[in-house]
Structure 1
Amino acid sequence: MHIPPYHKKPSWQRFLIGIVIGGIIAYCIVIFMYGAMYERLLEQNLDLQSQVTELKNQNEALLEDKEDLDEKAKEPLVINTVEVKITNEEQLRLDRLIIHQLEEMVKQEISHVIGQDINVIDKSDQLLISTIENKGFTVDDFTYYFDVSKLTISQTVKLTVEAKVSN
C-alpha cells in the first residue's frame, strides 16, 4: 500500500497550509473569546464578593445596633433633670433674681427624683404635686406658694407652676 504523494502538488500544499493557518486563527479566536469571557466572569465574581462582604458588614453592624438597642431597652429610664417654669411672673411683677431663686428652691425641693425610675415617679405624681403645693418658699420676707398647672414626666421633669404671694 502506497500513499500518493499529494504533498508535492501545489494545490494540496495550499490546502494543507490553509488548514494549518485556519486552525491557528481559530485557536487564537477561541483563546481570545475564552479570555474575554473569563475576564467578565472574574469581574462579576469580584463584584459579587465585594457586595457579599459589604452586606455581611452591614448585617453585623445592624445586629450590633439591635443588641445595643435591646440592652438600652432593658435598662430602666431614669430622670435626668428638672425644669421649673413660673407662668404668672409678670402679673406678680417678679424680677429675674426672685424668679431664679424660686425656681431653684422648687428644684431643690424635688431634687430627690433625679436618678429615679420614671415609672416610680409616674405612679407618685400626686405626691410630687402635693410636695410643691403644700410648701411655702420664702424670698425677701415674702412667702410664695405654688399651684402646679402642668407636670410632664419624662427623662426631664417639666413643671409649670403658678405663684401666689402670702404676706
Structure 2
Amino acid sequence: MRIPPLYRNSNWQRLFAGMAVGGCISWIIFLFMFGVMQERNSVIMQEQTNKIRELQSDIKIWQDDYKELNEKNEEMLTIQKIKVELTNYEKYDIKDSQSIHTVQDAIQDDLRSLLAKDLATVYKNKEIIEKAIENKIVKINGKKYEFVIREIHYYTTIHIEIELRLAD
C-alpha cells in the first residue's frame, strides 16, 4: 500500500499552507489581545493598590485623631452624679428605711459641691472627701453613729460604699 501522491497536488498544498498561515496569524492576534487585556488588568490592580494604601493611611490618621480626642475628653471628664450606699445597718437593727434614705441624702448633700467639677481635681482631694464623711456623726433612733468608708469609685459617677459604726 502506498500513500497517494497528494503532495504534488497544488490545491492540497495551498490548503495546508493557508491553515499554517491562518494559525500563525490567529496566534499573533490572540497574543496581542491577551497582552492588552493583561496590561489593562495590571493598571487596574496598580490603581487599586494605590487606593488601598491611601485609604489605610487615612484610616491611621483618623484613628490617631480619634485616640487623641478621646484622651482630651477623658481629661475633661466631670462629676455628673454622686451615689451613696449604706451597708451593715441591719447589724444595728435599723429597719427604718426612711432613716437610711435620710442619711444617704445628707451625705449626698454634703458632697453636692463636687458636681460639675473636674474628675482629676476631685481625685486629688480624695483625702478631704474621706475625712468629711468619716468625721460626720449622725443620730438615728436615739443612737449616734459614725461612718467608715469601705469603697470609693471615682468616675463620672462617684460611688461611695459606707459602713455604719457606733460612735464612742
TM-score normalised by the chain length of structure 1: 0.69
Alignment equivalent of 1:36, drawn from 27, 30, 34: 34
CA distance in structure 2 between the partners assigned to 1:93 and 1:145 by the alignment: 16
C-alpha change, 1:41 and 1:106, in structure 2 (3 Å) is: farther
Write out per-residue CA displacement over residues 120-148 of structure 1, whole angstroms, 9 at most, x where no aligned residue: 22221111112212334567777653222
Answer whether contact 1:105 1:137 (CA < 8 A) is retained.
Answer: no
Secondary structure at the residue paired with 1:130? helix
Is 1:60 matched with 2:58? Answer: yes
- What value does the CA root-mean-square deviation take over the aligned residues? 3.3
1:32-78 residue CA offsets vs partner (Å, 9 max, x unmatched): 23323443443454345335434433432331221122133234233
Seen in structure 2, the aligned counterparts of structure 1 residues 164 and 47 have a Cα distance that, compared at 3 Å, is same
2:147 — aligned with what?
Answer: 146
Residue matched to 2:121: 120
Residue of structure 1 in register with 2:136 after alignment: 135
Q: Which runs of 5+ in 1 are unaligned?
A: 1-8
Secondary structure, in 3 states, of the residue corresponding to 1:90? helix
**Which secondary structure state, in structure 2, belongs to the residue aligned with residue 161 of structure 1?**
strand
Counterpart in the other structure of 2:89? 89
Query: Paired residue for 2:105?
Result: 104
Q: Who is 2:70 aligned against? A: 72
Deviates more, 1:139-148 or 1:150-159: 139-148
Q: 5 Å matches for 1:7-46?
A: 11=10, 18-46=16-44
CA distance in 1, matches of 2:100, 2:21: 101
Structure 2 spans left out of the alignment, 5+ residues: 1-7
Identity of aligned residues (%): 15
In the alignment, does 2:47 pair up with 1:49? yes
Q: TM-score, normalised by structure 2?
A: 0.68
By how many angstroms is 1:18 displaced?
4.6
Supply the distance in 2 between the matched residues of 1:48 and 1:101 (Cα, whole angstroms): 72
How many Å separate the matches in 1 of 2:21 and 2:50? 42
Deviations 1:84-140 (A, max 9, x none): 222212213344444333323222221222322222222211111122123345677
